[in-house]
Amino acid sequence: MSGFARLTGEFDRWADAGLTATLWWRDDDAVAPTEALDRLIDVAAGTPLTLAVIPALAEPALAARLAGQEQIAAVQHGLAHRNHETVGKKAELGGSRPAAEVVADLAVGFARLATLFAGQFRPMLVPPWNRIAPAVVPALPRLGLTALSTARPRPVRQPCPGLVQVNTHVDPIDWHGTRGFIGADETIEMFCRHLADRREGRVDRDEPTGLLTHHLVHDAGLWQFLPRLVETVAAHRAARFLAAAEACA
């Protein structure tokens, strides 16, 4: 069975169970209007997009480009996407700095995006590299952040009072190898695995299956895959992409 037929088959199983397979689409590292961003918006073709914007680098021209695009939400991607760890894996919001210092940075980023993007800003934090120190998490609601998004199935819906976690589960880029598209079959396998795990109760059924992309580094293969994915989801009665607010509901 071809990859997209497998995905349609999984959607059929959701339909047979009287359920809707919910997905959401997060794209990271937006800072400016670019040809790649234009292409992403065209490929989405009205599908809800959640753009993780780097506050310290975001240009006013990006806000102007997104104005009127009601299907696009801007959310907070750390502060400057800068690694502060001296050993181990990269993180901007990791444990090598005092939690109060990290929170202060996030407050600056939150204020800038809330002003720059006005009605399109949604109070979701996307930690750079999907990593955040546990000590920082309880402070997020005090900043006005109501959602957190990292990677892999969430262990709990609310990591602390006032904060909902909604993660991504499908990353189609081979970051540790070619840095290109991993291929349609492998990407669809990730979709089907998480969808089946939800449907069969092995993970939280209410967490929508999250696609994570990075428009600035897409290769030809990934650009060709995405429109087919959008069409496959749109064509099925038991599948749909959610906007950021819906994903966190």
> Residues 110, 123: contact at Cβ < 8 Å?
yes
Question: Residue 179: what pLDDT?
Answer: 95
Closest by alpha carbon to 231, among 11, 66, 30? 11
Domains of the chain: 3-247 (3.20.20.370)
Question: Residue 157: what pLDDT?
Answer: 98
Question: Residue 241: what pLDDT?
Answer: 98
Along the chain (249 residues), what's the average pLDDT of each consecutive run of 10 residues? 88 98 98 98 97 98 96 98 96 97 98 95 98 98 98 98 98 96 97 98 98 98 98 98 96
